[in-house]
Amino acid sequence: MTTYRAVHATEGVFSLVERELTDPGPGQVRIAVEACGICHSDVVGVENLYHHHEAGTPIIPGHEVVGRVDALGAGVTSWTVGQRVGVGYFGGHCGVCESCRRGEFVYCTDQAILGDSIDGGYAEYVTTRATGLVAVPEEFDAVEAAPLLCAGITVYNALRKASLWPGDLVAVQGIGGLGHLAIQYAAKLGLRVVAVARGGDKRELALKLGATEYIDSTAVDQAAALQALGGAKVIIPTASSGASMSPLLDGLARGGRLIVVGAAPDPIEVPTVQLLFGNKSIEGSLTGTPLENEENLAFSLAHDVRPMVEPVGIEDAAEAYARMMSGAARFRMVLDLER
């Protein structure tokens, strides 16, 4: 086999193409892709928002990849051909920058960003640094495992780092690609989960996923409703809107934390008295290391945390991406390379 199928994007326009199959370089692995999730963050590479690749040049999007090691580059000794692996948004840290030397691999300043600075997983093969690989248990269906490598680890790590105890009140704002997973993780961690969303149409789903309470933000004051329940120790906003996050501060208990996982183009507006007199804080949580992702997969497997997915073939990648961007997906579009 000398070529493979891929979907690349040039200035936002998708094309199904044949690419030449090349050998991995030193420290790299080539993965035969089984599935790749379609994530809202794919827009960064598709539109080249951060200019991580040369303007006008095509990029293969996709950073929620599950497959098998197909070839090893020089110096790679910790992985074997045929091994089940995955890779998320960060496609491998350099190991030598200041962040890496401090063990902060997520903040590596020479990070390979799958689907943005390097070609990603909307393809039959992807090549990336070995440092970005995540071991994926054989028990997982590839289509279900793929979204956990970005959406899953993002909300799992936010909860894991929040110093929570079973029974603590946690609110999840938004029931979409991130939110429907956050509710499951929080419930399986023994937390008291409140789902916050617009309208009442997602109430039944939220309760089925593990929420104990549901707040319709169009019908009641969401912050007052949270305070009536005792105030949230942590709120995880997943919507891509800073304006929708700002009112949530009033719903935090004293000492509560707003942990942002949804990237928004507009700012969060914060009254300083909330921070001072309520001892409240706002922080972000950005994905996780490969080892943390393996822990995330192990937890998901043990506690039956699964994404709701809509699988499609690679030839339908453009339509699936458009469905995701429109908000119509329920809740994760996934390319199934084995269809």
CATH number of the domain to which 228 belongs: 3.40.50.720
Is 167 in the same domain as 67? no
CB 87 within 8 A of CB 65: yes
pLDDT score of 311: 98
Tell me which residue range forms the domain holding 189: 152-284
For residues 260 and 242, what is the distance between their CA atoms, to the nearest angstrom? Answer: 10
The pLDDT tens digits along the chain (339 residues) read: 799 999 999 999 999 999 999 999 999 999 999 999 999 999 999 999 999 999 999 999 999 999 999 999 999 999 999 999 999 999 999 999 999 999 999 999 999 999 999 999 999 999 999 999 999 999 999 999 999 999 999 999 999 999 999 999 999 999 999 999 999 999 999 999 999 999 999 999 999 999 999 999 999 999 999 999 999 999 999 988 999 999 999 999 999 999 999 888 899 999 899 899 999 999 999 999 999 999 999 999 999 999 999 999 999 999 999 999 999 999 999 999 998
Find, among 113, 126, 118, 116, the residue nearest to 36 by Cα: 126
User: 32 and 71: one domain?
Assistant: yes
Does 31 share its domain with 58?
yes
Contacts of 252 (CB under 8 A, 6+ apart): 226, 231, 232, 233, 235, 258, 278, 280
Query: How many Å apart are CA 221 and CA 9, to the nearest integer?
Result: 42
pLDDT at 274: 87
Looking at the structure, do residues 183 and 82 belong to the same domain, yes or no?
no
Do 175 and 132 share a structural domain?
Answer: no
Specify whether 213 is located in the same domain as 309: no
Q: What was the pLDDT predicted at 240?
A: 84
Residue 36: name the closest of 107, 91, 109, 112 by CA: 91
Residue where a domain terminates, one of 242, 258, 284: 284
By DSSP bridging, strand 332-336 and strand 309-312 are parallel
pTM for the full model?
0.96
Dist. CA 256–CA 279, nearest whole Å: 7
The domain boundary residue, chosen from 284, 301, 318 = 284
Say what the pLDDT of residue 1 is: 77
Residues 115 and 144 occupy one common structural domain: yes
Q: How many domains does the chain have?
A: 2
> Residues 9, 117: one domain?
yes
Residue where a domain stops, chosen among 266, 284, 302: 284
Q: Are residues 255 and 127 in the same domain?
A: no
The Cα 22–Cα 174 span in angstroms is 42
313 in the same domain as 198: no
